[in-house]
Amino acid sequence: VCFGGTLYAREVDWLRQHEWAVTADDILWRRSKLGLVLDDQAAKRLTAWLASASPVTEVA
């Protein structure tokens, strides 16, 4: 799944598991600066995907 630009679901999964990213703002502004280049539609797609994503499990 591509949310826009170069942001893909696999990277979001990694950020959730290893960087404790929880919200779209966490990912777009705190863990990266993709909020500067992605449009509102991309942020909405990411927000919707995060709402439906399965919970993060602990990393061993």
The Cα–Cα gap between 14 and 41 comes to: 22
pTM for this structure? 0.83
Read off the amino acid at residue 15: L
pLDDT confidence of 57, banded at 50, 70, 90?
confident
Give tens-digit pLDDT for 1-56. Answer: 999 989 999 999 999 999 999 999 999 999 989 999 999 999 999 999 999 988 88
